[in-house]
Homo-oligomer: A and B are copies of this chain.
Amino acid sequence: MLKQSITICFLCLTITQSSAQKDYTKYVNPMIGTKSMGHTFPGACVPFGHVQLSPDTDNIPHNIDGKYQKDVYNYCAGYQYDDNTIIGFSHTHFNGTGHSDLGDILIMPYTGETKLIPGTKENPELGYRSTFNHNTEKSEPGYYEVKLESYDILAQLTATQRAGVHKYTFPENERAKIILELKHGIYNYDGKVLWANVRVENDTLITGYRITNGWSRENYTYFAISFSKKIENYGYKDFAPSKYQGFWRKFNMNENFPEIGGKQVVCWFEFCDDDTDNLEIKVALSAVSTDGALKNLQAEASPFVFDEIKEKAHNTWNKALSVIDAKGTDDQLSMLYTSLYHTMINPSIYMDVDGNYRGIDHNIHKAEGFTNYTIFSVWDTFRALHPLLNIIDTDRSKDILNSMLAHYSQSVHKALPVWSHMGNENWCMIGYHSVSVMADAIAKNIPIDNNLAFEAMINSSNLLYYDNIADYKQLGYVPIEKNGSAVSITLEYAYDDWTIYNTALKLGKTDVAEEYKKRALNYKNLFDSEIKFFRPKYSDGRWKKDFDVLETHGQGFIEGNSWNYSFFVPHDVEGLIELMGGDKAFINRLDSLFTMFLPDEFFENTEDVTREGIMGNYVQGNEPSHHIPYLYAWTSEPWKAQFRIREIMNEMYKNKIDGLCGNDDCGQMSAWYIFSAMGFYPVCPGSDQYVFGAPYLPYMEINLPNSKKLVIKADKVSDKSRYIKSIKLNGKLIDRKYITHAEIMNGGILEFEMDNTEARRTQRGTEKY
């Protein structure tokens, strides 16, 4: 025993040393996904921070004269690589979403004439925006820099959890000036800003806020900004002044009046000359109050100077990334660590340093015993992001779950988050997948209040006015005449219901288990056994006519057609295989999915995936596909999973600006990659099983939060040797198709013997969850 202990300690020491020495951040390339559909941002943030300080390269209004502007979709993260102008640097950005919002509190440095409009891409000189060249950009975890050509200003950005930190180096003999934009926003429209306020507290400090009515229906962004130089003059313009100004009109508010308010406010500041060309700006955010923002500023960004904060951000990232120590080619490691980086942005901390946060009821709450998070893109992230956190960062996962439970407790609907951010539910996408997130946590013994979680799961699945739950409960499916996504919804409800069933079993609630077992089988109600596809059905039981298995939106499906969704029964793959006609038929269907020919025109109107992200009719860029390649594991030809997964990883995740084949979706695309690189995937979150694909890299160490570690070895793995011959955990052969959570968390060595020949490994395929 003694000897063993010593060995472990020695191991710890090794890890610590190697972690301390190794710079994992160098592999991270935040530019991946900034071109095309990745919707990632290149700017600075720290892991799971409230602030993402990043350049916005254009500002497309959501609509003009009521007409939706399709281009707005390209700017979900504010930045598009193809642009060559920067409007400024704003403080909040989603990572890789397919819908957008935020872009709060934009700052732009400039010299010379003050212009209060941004100008246009084509004529940047009309406004304050600047041209830039990608050659001058540096983007790394916690740091971004660019030269603003129009003004010859070097812009450097870093961040703390709650503050963005700017450093602008102005040309010698040029007065330092900045624009502070409070009408700019991502997914903007006239009227989005309900009110904005700025107080010039003293000559180096301003506070303020804005309340927006955007995707987050009522989003409160408070700020406190400190400057390294003294303000000499300032002013503003309200581009949509209130009809009624009252007696404020007795002031000349345009210049040097310290209390600014309005709906379309753009401010300018000129700073005193001093002995430096650098202007440092610290912008702390809060959703609570300017007092909260000030506290955050003081706690996190004072008295640090830019370089110290930058170094701290770097170290924080390096520590976070060191959870995985992997070997591979530079490109492979870039993809791996960039993926890991992208899983560490959303959800984001949404709480002041004193524990106060704005709840979904818009009241200010004190987080007792947890850190509050926001940005829950649950339809995406229930699949792999939350399961990943349940392995690599259980404390954070617990906080996130508690944040979801706080949301539930404060929700007037008594429902868990669907897609919520910044203290508001936005109801995007379908399902009640937070029940899956809860179930997964309970299955994996994350220490939350199981009773509250279970109550929240039950209530969320019975919110009758939400997406035809009433119909679903009555008919066993959502009828097509009532909802254009009826089949997708039915399938996802059935899966979610299974997670409730499984949790009820675990918690000993047999009555509830029985009820939800039935609901979990509802998927069968929409399987048309004649055509062997899931198919929309009317309330009266008739199948929808004019049904095309390739059509998506409005035809019963969303973000996937019947081909894709016909594989969405993650909780009863055996049942699905049976419906489909057994092993061979199922394999044929999977094969067809990956190999069928669809012309380019077929994907022309697909908004959120690139052509590169499509393999036959398989669409990695949309989440309903993510578990599909792993379904081969249930068949007699599991090596086809091993083949396909490596294909997907090779072809659809590339270390280049347009290296993501679809929206990163708050880290779900990236979490898929991490799991797939490890060689297993949570096909059915809510169970404790991870289904084997094949490892991607010869060596990965996972430093588990319980201080154990899991080493994943696949010495001979290569594009050729992509097939598994055998799997051993701590020397013992695993002949199942999955590894359990307990096995992972217990650590040790998971050794894959790889081969270039298919079908060497047989596995038992009969276990049910």
Chain A residues close to B by CB (< 8 Å): 62-63, 66, 187, 189-192, 194-195, 197, 199-201, 209, 211, 213-215, 217-218, 242-244, 246-248, 250-252, 256-259, 261, 289-291, 361-364, 412-413, 419, 426-429, 465-467
Looking at A258, A412, A426, the one whose CB has the most chain B CB atoms below 10 A away is A412
Chain A interface SS verdict (over half): loop
**Is A467 in contact with B250, judged by CB distance below 8 angstroms?**
yes
Measured in the bound complex, the distance between the Cα atoms of B426 and A418 in whole Å is 42
Knowing A217-B261, A412-B258 are in contact, say whether A194-B195 is a contact too (CB < 8 A). Answer: yes
Measured in the bound complex, the distance between the Cα atoms of B362 and A582 in whole Å is 66
The residue that A412 contacts in the complex, of B62, B190, B201, with Cβ under 8 A, is B201
**Is B215 in contact with A195, judged by CB distance below 8 angstroms?**
no
Measured in the bound complex, the distance between the Cα atoms of B240 and A27 in whole Å is 51
28 examples of A-B residue contacts, CB within 8 angstroms? A66-B243, A187-B244, A189-B244, A190-B243, A191-B243, A195-B211, A195-B213, A199-B361, A200-B412, A209-B362, A213-B242, A213-B244, A214-B244, A217-B248, A246-B428, A247-B419, A247-B427, A247-B429, A248-B427, A250-B467, A251-B427, A251-B465, A252-B465, A257-B465, A258-B412, A289-B363, A289-B364, A291-B364
Measured in the bound complex, the distance between the Cα atoms of B211 and A197 in whole Å is 14
**Is A244 in contact with B62, judged by CB distance below 8 angstroms?**
yes
Chain B residues whose C-beta falls within 8 Å of the C-beta of A250 in the assembled complex: 427, 467
Chain B residues whose C-beta falls within 8 Å of the C-beta of A251 in the assembled complex: 427, 465-466
Q: Which residue of B lies closest to A195 (CB)?
A: B194
Looking at A66, A250, A429, the one whose CB has the most chain B CB atoms below 10 A away is A250
Instruction: Return A65 CB to nearest CB of chain B, in Å.
Output: 10
Chain B residues whose C-beta falls within 8 Å of the C-beta of A214 in the assembled complex: 244, 246
Knowing A63-B244, A246-B427, A465-B251 are in contact, say whether A218-B192 is a contact too (CB < 8 A). Answer: no
Instruction: Return A638 CB to nearest CB of chain B, in Å.
Output: 39
**Is A290 in contact with B363, judged by CB distance below 8 angstroms?**
yes
Instruction: Return A418 CB to nearest CB of chain B, in Å.
Output: 8
Q: Which residue of B lies closest to A252 (CB)?
A: B465
Would you list the 9 A-B pairs with minimal beta carbon distance, nearest first?
A: A247-B427, A199-B412, A291-B363, A194-B194, A289-B363, A258-B412, A247-B428, A259-B412, A194-B195
Instruction: Return A192 CB to nearest CB of chain B, in Å.
Output: 7
Knowing A195-B213, A247-B427, A412-B201 are in contact, say whether A290-B242 is a contact too (CB < 8 A). Answer: no
**Is B246 in contact with A426, judged by CB distance below 8 angstroms?**
yes
**Is B243 in contact with A197, judged by CB distance below 8 angstroms?**
no
Chain B residues whose C-beta falls within 8 Å of the C-beta of A248 in the assembled complex: 217, 426-427
5 additional A-B residue pairs with CB within 8 Å, beyond A201-B412, A211-B211: A187-B244, A209-B362, A215-B244, A258-B412, A291-B363
Instruction: Return A358 CB to nearest CB of chain B, in Å.
Output: 10
Measured in the bound complex, the distance between the Cα atoms of B426 and A259 in whole Å is 12
Instruction: Return A167 CB to nearest CB of chain B, in Å.
Output: 27
Measured in the bound complex, the distance between the Cα atoms of B192 and A733 in whole Å is 71
Measured in the bound complex, the distance between the Cα atoms of B393 and A625 in whole Å is 74
Looking at A195, A217, A261, A427, the one whose CB has the most chain B CB atoms below 10 A away is A217
**Is A191 in contact with B242, judged by CB distance below 8 angstroms?**
yes
Q: Which residue of B lies closest to A425 (CB)?
A: B259
Chain B residues whose C-beta falls within 8 Å of the C-beta of A467 in the assembled complex: 250
Measured in the bound complex, the distance between the Cα atoms of B466 and A194 in whole Å is 28
Instruction: Return A136 CB to nearest CB of chain B, in Å.
Output: 36
Measured in the bound complex, the distance between the Cα atoms of B190 and A243 in whole Å is 8
Measured in the bound complex, the distance between the Cα atoms of B429 and A313 in whole Å is 52
Measured in the bound complex, the distance between the Cα atoms of B192 and A289 in whole Å is 22
The residue that A195 contacts in the complex, of B200, B201, B218, B291, with Cβ under 8 A, is B218
Instruction: Return A701 CB to nearest CB of chain B, in Å.
Output: 41
Measured in the bound complex, the distance between the Cα atoms of B197 and A211 in whole Å is 14
**Is A211 in contact with B191, judged by CB distance below 8 angstroms?**
no
Chain B residues whose C-beta falls within 8 Å of the C-beta of A428 in the assembled complex: 246-247
Measured in the bound complex, the distance between the Cα atoms of B246 and A427 in whole Å is 8
Measured in the bound complex, the distance between the Cα atoms of B195 and A256 in whole Å is 29
Measured in the bound complex, the distance between the Cα atoms of B463 and A256 in whole Å is 13
Instruction: Return A462 CB to nearest CB of chain B, in Å.
Output: 15
Q: Which residue of B lies closest to A215 (CB)?
A: B246
Measured in the bound complex, the distance between the Cα atoms of B209 and A247 in whole Å is 25
The residue that A217 contacts in the complex, of B201, B246, B257, B465, with Cβ under 8 A, is B246
Measured in the bound complex, the distance between the Cα atoms of B252 and A427 in whole Å is 13
**Is B62 in contact with A218, judged by CB distance below 8 angstroms?**
no
Q: Which residue of B lies closest to A217 (CB)?
A: B261
Chain B residues whose C-beta falls within 8 Å of the C-beta of A199 in the assembled complex: 361, 412
Chain B residues whose C-beta falls within 8 Å of the C-beta of A218 in the assembled complex: 195, 197, 261
Instruction: Return A265 CB to nearest CB of chain B, in Å.
Output: 13
Chain B residues whose C-beta falls within 8 Å of the C-beta of A363 in the assembled complex: 289-291
Instruction: Return A616 CB to nearest CB of chain B, in Å.
Output: 31
The residue that A413 contacts in the complex, of B190, B259, B291, B412, with Cβ under 8 A, is B259
Measured in the bound complex, the distance between the Cα atoms of B213 and A694 in whole Å is 60
Chain B residues whose C-beta falls within 8 Å of the C-beta of A291 in the assembled complex: 361, 363-364
Measured in the bound complex, the distance between the Cα atoms of B413 and A242 in whole Å is 22
The residue that A243 contacts in the complex, of B63, B209, B412, B426, with Cβ under 8 A, is B63
**Is A244 in contact with B192, judged by CB distance below 8 angstroms?**
yes
Q: Which residue of B lies closest to A430 (CB)?
A: B250
Measured in the bound complex, the distance between the Cα atoms of B204 and A664 in whole Å is 44
**Is A247 in contact with B465, judged by CB distance below 8 angstroms?**
no
Instruction: Return A707 CB to nearest CB of chain B, in Å.
Output: 41
Chain B residues whose C-beta falls within 8 Å of the C-beta of A290 in the assembled complex: 361-363
Chain B residues whose C-beta falls within 8 Å of the C-beta of A242 in the assembled complex: 191, 213
Measured in the bound complex, the distance between the Cα atoms of B364 and A251 in whole Å is 27
Instruction: Return A227 CB to nearest CB of chain B, in Å.
Output: 16
Measured in the bound complex, the distance between the Cα atoms of B364 and A244 in whole Å is 26
Chain B residues whose C-beta falls within 8 Å of the C-beta of A247 in the assembled complex: 419, 426-429
Chain B residues whose C-beta falls within 8 Å of the C-beta of A209 in the assembled complex: 362
Measured in the bound complex, the distance between the Cα atoms of B258 and A259 in whole Å is 36
Looking at A201, A256, A361, the one whose CB has the most chain B CB atoms below 10 A away is A361
Chain B residues whose C-beta falls within 8 Å of the C-beta of A259 in the assembled complex: 412-413
Q: Which residue of B lies closest to A240 (CB)?
A: B191
**Is A189 in contact with B243, judged by CB distance below 8 angstroms?**
yes
Looking at A197, A363, A466, the one whose CB has the most chain B CB atoms below 10 A away is A363
Instruction: Return A417 CB to nearest CB of chain B, in Å.
Output: 13
Instruction: Return A5 CB to nearest CB of chain B, in Å.
Output: 52
The residue that A258 contacts in the complex, of B62, B63, B257, B413, with Cβ under 8 A, is B413
Measured in the bound complex, the distance between the Cα atoms of B62 and A211 in whole Å is 25
Knowing A195-B194, A246-B217 are in contact, say whether A465-B426 is a contact too (CB < 8 A). Answer: no
Chain B residues whose C-beta falls within 8 Å of the C-beta of A465 in the assembled complex: 251-252, 256-257
**Is A289 in contact with B362, judged by CB distance below 8 angstroms?**
yes
Measured in the bound complex, the distance between the Cα atoms of B414 and A199 in whole Å is 12
Q: Which residue of B lies closest to A360 (CB)?
A: B259
Measured in the bound complex, the distance between the Cα atoms of B289 and A362 in whole Å is 8
Chain B residues whose C-beta falls within 8 Å of the C-beta of A63 in the assembled complex: 243-244
Chain B residues whose C-beta falls within 8 Å of the C-beta of A66 in the assembled complex: 243
Chain B residues whose C-beta falls within 8 Å of the C-beta of A412 in the assembled complex: 199-201, 258-259
Instruction: Return A443 CB to nearest CB of chain B, in Å.
Output: 29
Instruction: Return A252 CB to nearest CB of chain B, in Å.
Output: 7
